[in-house]
Each structure stands twice: as structure tokens, then as C-alpha cells.
Structure 1
């Protein structure tokens, strides 16, 4: 009997488609603010790839050999490299191995497989390592998290291998190795500061190596340096933020500028504490090699240390987040002031923020060569004005819930379809609430949500930003703002915003699931899976994370070269799609909060992002993903059932009809039947009727022609 062999077209729809006490003594390991200057356009910056490795607490080392700030230093490097005024690296191009993730196997994979596979001659490559280094039998090693002191040669990463990879396997012309490994608490007797530096000196000279020290020195950490840093990394981060840009002051951070800034500032900071540490550069490199961009010029003249001052920030409460000129610096506690060196002279805004309290803002003049004490006083609990609260509650009823008059925590679903008129009225109520109390962050946040539902993304992001300005600790505004940025086509900025959320709240599963969504949007499937993994680890019932992980796995499966690996990934995707569908198997009212994060992202109506429409689109996306996965693992009957269930939620989705046609086509190929062939034809005709202009419609027309030729020969009435 004749058999149809028709090409399969990948789904391209949402979620299933392609794309001041006495200071402590520094231990073995400057914030500068900037005037407005023109910045080198991002498109003028070479593409960059980076590997960041930071290990502080080693699995097999005793307490005396553990480090304090290597992991937080690495986090700071990651943040500055992905910042558009910094390294300007695409976030998916910066791989970060922190703590227990920095195993020997992972370090070897990233260095020997990933970097050589992606970097091209015109690219920048940065490798940063913060942790222990050591020498055994005359050979140098970097210590991964799982290093074993009794088996160093077998459980650590050889520096000779690192040198060979960077010199011979990574094809980028601009390569930089940044290491902070000469710490106290050495792993073995043969490891001395001098012997370790000799190992770095022996690395190939075809790339720039910048180490934290010179011979016979150790690398220091200081718990009083901002939120606690290694000397080297603190000033390295400031250099990438633009503060190394001075000769000339042109918005470009070159290799020579970065080296000079880091070396001079680390040496000065150490000497002021009666210590000795001088970063050392080695290798043959272009002095004008572009490493980053920024607005960091301190002045129109030389950046002499005498033109910088120090801020000592103290507070009356614990866990106060400190911002300087809008940039988050870290937390300060009553018992430990925050010391921020190398601030440019001039007026700076300091803000202390604690959840539930009014922030304290102060403008302080930083004098060159002087210490300035900034006293943050958190005193007043946030108490929005009662008329504003009442208006906000009325708006909430229209937005997504109605509240019990007895309890603000009693959320009751609204079991009716939401209309555009409801949202317009909600907008008016929230605007009135904000007029009554301009410091009412919740009203601004709800305005952002209402405009998001109305698909007015410019107004939406405007009010999310206003909520963040009123209350920098308002995490929901950052997460939701990231969703809007993704819809506006700026997943990179969304990733940066979500990175700040994770700094404020490391256990925020919604931030990680949204980060997965941002990586999904960029086609960075492995990064999407990694972020979703973290969300699910924090909260196993995070439905969004299961959905993005499922689809990222399906995308990897489609590209897998090994059939066995493809089937494995499809099976994993199938499990996640099922988890997503189980977790979202509720009424549209109960699903409304989840649906917010998908509004305008290819789900729901483009005319008006109705909650019911968004919910149905999400369910359809899950069922379609499951349909595709079941088909790929060899279960066409189950695949057909799931495609049919998808159509119950989205009966006018042409892609869903197309996929159902493909499933019936495949069923006919294995189990010839007139009924199956006719069903395939009907699905293709329905798809063409819904949208004849889609690329898939051309394929559908071709399939219909083939089927029409087969039906008479098969005597199908």
C-alpha cells in the first residue's frame, strides 16, 4: 500500500516553539561613581565569551583552608561582565561555576569543550578564577570544588592544560586570564606564593594573564571592603564598570587601562593597611585590546587617588540594602558599617532600603582624600494613606481579585471573563490612588500590571520602574518588569534586572523561572534549563519553570546528533510538560496570577490579553509540547490525544491543527487507514482555512494534494 512520507515542520507558537566599630583586619585576598559621558555603542563591541569560576568552601578541605569571598567575588565579576556598561557580554555567553558547581568535570567541560566550540577569531574571551591554586611535583594546578588533598594530580585542573586550551584551542584573538589564587591556608607544603607565581609565569605568552599578586606575595581578602571582597576582584570589577577609562577618556576600557587601574589601586589599598599586594600582567597582548565599555571617567584629567574619597555607611537596623546613585552596593548591619573606597569626589545620593519601612535618602559630598560618614536611619513603617489604599483595593477587584473586607490576605478568585473596560477603570482607580499617595509603590505596581494586560508595554514598564524607584525592595516589580522587557525584545536587560532580584532574594523561584524564560527567548536552551532547575529546586511546584525547561529540552532534542540522546531529552521534556499541565489544572480564576507572566508573550489575544485567553493558550502550549514529545518517543496515539486536547483550549490555532495533521500523517505511515488519512486531510484544510499565509500552510497544501492523489487509489469513500 502506498505510504506518505511528509516533512515535519517545527512548531513556531508560544512556549512550544523555537525561540562604627573597630575595623576587622584584612585577610589573605573602589567604588567609583560616574558623570554622564558618551558610551561606545554596544554594536561596536566585539562579541564576548567568558567562564567565571569561584570557590570559597571546598568539599574536602578543613576549615583553616577555606576562603571567605571567592564566590561572592565571582558573582560580582559575573554581574559586571553581563552589564551593558561593563563587559557588555551577552548573558548566555557567560558561564558561571560557583561553589559546588565548580567540579573538575564541569571546569574541564567548559574550558576544553565549550569555549573552543563557540569562540571565533574576532571574539573576546575572558576566563576568571577565584579560589585556591597549588603546586605539586613542580606542576601548577587550580583547585576545583571537589579537589582531594591526597590526590591533587588527579582531582585538580593543571595549569599546563589551561595554557594549552587558551593558547591553541580557543581561536579568539583577544584572550584574557584573570586569577586570584595566591591565598593563605595553602593546600600543601610545596605551594608557596613564589612557586605558584612561577607557574603562572610559565603559561604561554600568546594571551594576557593578570594575576592578583607578584612573586612572594599573597592575595588578601577584606571583610570591610564594601560588602567583603578580595582586593584584586574589587578593583577589577570597578575597572570593568568604567573607572579604568582615562587615557583617553573615550568610553572604552582597554587592556592597558584595566591593568594600570587594578595594579595601582590594589597596591595603594594594600599599602594603606601595611600590606603588600601588586597585581601582575604577563603575556603578549594588544595594549588597546577592548575589554569593556562604560561611563566611568572620573574627570577630564588624570585619575589620581587624591581625587577620590571613602564613604563609611552606618545604619540603625540590620539587613538594610544600600544604593549609591541608584546602584545597589550591598547590605549593611548595625554592628558593621559598610566601607566604600575610591568614590569620586562630588555629591552622591545614598539610599537605605528595608522592606516594610520608608527608605532613607541622603545626599553627601565626598571630599578627595577624606572619609565621609553616611548615617542611614530607618525609622518609619510604610503606611499608605487610607484613601489611596481604598482606591487601590477597588482597582484590585477589577484587576484580578476581590478582597474580603475582613482580611487583606483573603484573596478570592474572580470567576468571570475580564474585559478591557474593567482594566481601563482599574487604571483610573490606581492612578487616583497614586495621586493620593505618590509614595504608594503597590499602586504603581498595579498600574504596571494593568497596562501590561492592556498590552501597553511602554506605560507598563514606566510604572514598574516607578514602583522600583519608590521602593527598591519591591521585587515583584522587577520580575514583572522583566516580563515586559522580554516582550519588548530586550531579554538581555531582563536578565540584568532578574540578576538584581536574585541578589536581593536568592530564593526567589519566580525570578529564576523568568530568567529561564529570558534565556528561552534568546535560544540559549542549556541556560534556560539551568535557570529552571534552580527555580524547581527552590519550589517544585513552579509551573512556569517546568514549561520552559520542557520546551528547552525539546529544542535540544530536535538538534541532538545522537538518536539515543534525542529520545532521552524528549522523554525528559514529556515529564516536564506533564508536570506543567498537572500544576495548571485549575480554573481560569485560580490561574490568573500565573498567567500574568505570559501575558503578551505569544499567548492570549493580541488585541486584549484576557486571563481566560492566556490560560487557554498556556494549556494548549503544554498539550502541544506533550503531543510533539510523545510523537518523537514513538507514541503516536498518545500524541494524537494531546494534540486534540490542545485544540479544546485553542480551537482556532492553525499550528495546532497542522500538528494534529502531522500526527495523523505519521499514524497512517505506520498503520495505514482511510480514516486516519482523511483526518490528516481535514486538519490540514482547517489550518489553511484559518491562515493560508503561514509558511506551514504551503506544506499543508502540498500534503492535501498528496492525500487527494492517494484516496482514490486506496478506495477511500
Structure 2
């Protein structure tokens, strides 16, 4: 027999509000996938089973995966098993049945998966020896009511073209169940959808074919017909000539039914494998049990019953520890975590190194948000057994919850080194890498934003002090200084002191503007200061050359002007020399700043 290839899809939430949120679709997909790859369940190869759920299940990805699985991977001896849990509807224009992906628009059928395409292209062109497609869907849209022959009839989804294509193709089958519609809500059993819960229960043994000792499509159909309500009873279109074997060897105890845990919000939303309904005694929806028979690390972050550990042997005082751990698990199921910890502590007092007790303690502490304590317990487990792949996975989850994504990635990679066949560990790694990529992207954007803000700040600073403003301040300051000097000469006496104050303010303003302009604007402002000072010096020189004799005559007539004339001469000469010197010095001091701002 060839390979068994599985593509398992579950979608609870849709972008289009036309499709109401579902409760159990993603749980069903996870549970069924885990049962398929479980060594006590379907015994499928983990590498041959793909799980897509939540917002990741876009129509682009689903079309690609359907094509890849059916047309590119499947060979003549292979069984292809497809499973879809979500919404289906009938296109009001074409009348064709559509599988709704997470980003499907009800008004645009091209964003969904048409059933006619699956029947006429994928089924017809695939080399696979057998293709079974289970569609456990919620019937959405307005056309169902008008076309149903009964309250839960699925025939409206299959147009005459789909039915005709399936009748002409051997070993191709569509297997329908009604998850709900406008008449009936979605129903569940132990946090799984009713159909999938009973399907897994049947696969565990009750649906075995009495001749083969294994469940076949015919025996599963008969079992579900007798154990489900009218809403979920399966409806079949197509035919498969040879038995379809979904399970490996029969389970040793087929009379029991799976016990599903109580799922809670999970760490890796929309990431396959982060939470599984559990029941190790039947291997229904537990973690992937590898050759080492490891339990799952997923429930570390939710309120699961953790019953997957009930078959894990303890090391010391087994008889004393077992009932305490059983009580603790019941309390976890009831979400009474503080009481559960008490029983776990009692178990550890009896057997301090009991692996099952330590695992349960770490998971419950992680669920309660006590990450440091959970981390300490995991360290203890790794000290006892450094090659405990489960402990490394748990360590990765705790580090991820704490925001230490790089360390979490290293821990999960170590887990995969020890157990490369653990499907859930790969899913945990995917979630960690998504967080790490998001964080790095945010940091990169923050750096770019900071650089942009600095650049804008520098530009803004340049805009607030344009060249003309510094130049105007220099000219205004120089004019005020000259007016201040002229006041005592024109109006001697009481205005002498006022002229001294005005001239001091004007020349100070001139020098400050020269310094600031040369520092921030560079050589242009410095040259302006030099030009103004040269003009000032020329004014003093011209007065000395051509106006010296009249000034001497004026002093002889009015001796009180001698002080004012002396002050004017000294002040003008000092400013004419000091201002350019300060501007040139400021120009050189500001070179590094101006280069940095470019």
C-alpha cells in the first residue's frame, strides 16, 4: 500500500461577517490530525499530514495545498484524505457550492474553493488511488432553504455537474455532515463538534469492520448513522471500490470512548497544534506520541485536563502518587487550579522526582501565569534528564510567554533535535518565529522612525533660523548701536547715559547675531559680519580723515562733548574688530555640528 496523505482544515473565525463564528471547527481539525499521526491511533507519518486552521487558512493557501496534495504529491497507490471544518455556501449567481476560506467574501465566489473545481479538476486529474473528502460544515447563505429536500440536506451544495463528475470517477468520495444551519446551531461533545467527536470515537475501535478488524468508510458510515442525530448523520456522494483504511492496527481496548479536555484560550492563536483535546487511553486527540511515547507540552498555556499523562509511569511510590495526580487532573478540568497544585505538591512530597507530577505542576503554574515558578520546575526536570524533549518544549513555551523569543527558539530547536518527529514542537517553533519576526520588524520600524524624526528635527531647526533672520539681526543691532552713539553728540547732557545704554544693547545684539549666524549658517553669515565691520571701520576712518578738524573746533566750543566723541570712537573701533573675530571663531567651532546636520 502507498502513502496516506492528509490535508486537515479548520476555521472558526472569518473576515466576512456573513459567516458566523464557529466554536469547534479548529478543535476538530487539531484533534483529528493528532489522532491520525498518533502511534496508538492512525499511525500516519507526521510528515504526510498537513494542518491549516484559523486565519492562516486563506483561499490562496488552500488552493495551493489542494493542488499540491492531489496533483503534485499523490501517486497511484496513495490515499488522499481531505477534511474541512468550516462554512460552506451556494453562490447565488452560479448555483455552485463553495467552501469558505478564512478570507472568503460571500459576494465573490472567486475567493472561495468551488466544489466543482475539486470534482472536475483535482479529483479527475489526480493520480491518487483513493480520495476521501470529509466536509463537516455549517450551511450558510440564502439558497439552502429553497433547495433542501430535508432540514440538513447537503445535495444543494453539489450541483448536477459535481454529482455527474463523481459518478464517473471511481474511488472518489465526498462525505458530508451538517455542523449547523439556520435551523440548528453548532453542537459539541466534550469541546469537540458532535460529528468529529463520534468519528474519532469510532476510529478508536467501535467502528471497526468485523472482517478486517479495522475501520473502513463503510463501517464508519454505519457507525455514525447509528450514533448521531439527524443533523450530523453523514451523507455520501461518490464511490470507493476498495476499502479505505484510515487507521493502523486496531486499538487494544476499542470499547472505550475518547475523553476530550476542556480547551481554553491558547498561546499560538491560529497556529496548528497548540492545544489538543486529550484522552491518552484511546489516543484520540492527545499529543503526537513518538517512539519515546512523550506527552504534550501544549497544555502548558491553557486549562486542559492533561489526561495525556495518565499512562506515563512514575518512578517512586507509584501507588501513593497516582490517586493524588488523578485528583489534581480532575481539579484542572474544573479550572480549580490552586487546589490542583496542592494535590500535585502532595504527590511530589511522596515522590520528589516523579516526572508526571513535575510536568503537571509546570503546566498548571504556566496556566496560572506563574512563569518563574514554572521555569524553576522545568529546570529541575532538565537537571534530572537533560535529554527530556518535552521539558525543552515546555521551556520554550514559558520563554515565549515571557517575551524572550530568541531563547525560546533555542529551546524548541533543542527539543526538535531530541525528538524530530514531534509535530506539536514544530507548531510551537512556528509560533515563536512569528513572534520573533514581528518583534524584529517593529524594532526596525522604530529605528527608521527615530532616524526620520532626527532628520526632520534638524530640518526644522534649520528652518527656524534662516540666513536672512541672522543677517537682519546683525544689521538692526549695528544700527541701534550707531544711534546710541549719536544721541549724546546730538543731544548732550541728560541723554548721555541713555545713549550709552542703547549703544551697548545694539552692539551686543550685533555680536550675538554674528556669532550665532556663523555657527549655524557657516561662511555666508561670517562674510556678512566681516562686510559690515569693514563698512563700520570705513565710517570711523572717513570721520577721522575728513571730519577731524570740525570735531576739534566743536570740542573747543563745547567741551562737554569730548567724552561722548571719545566713547564713540573707541566703541566703533572695538566693534569693528571684535565682531568679525567672534564670527570667524564661531564659524570654525560650528563645523562639526553643520557636518552632522547634513
**TM-score, with length taken from structure 2:** 0.49
Which protein has the bigger strand share? 1
Higher helix fraction (1 or 2): 2
Q: TM-score, normalised by structure 1?
A: 0.42
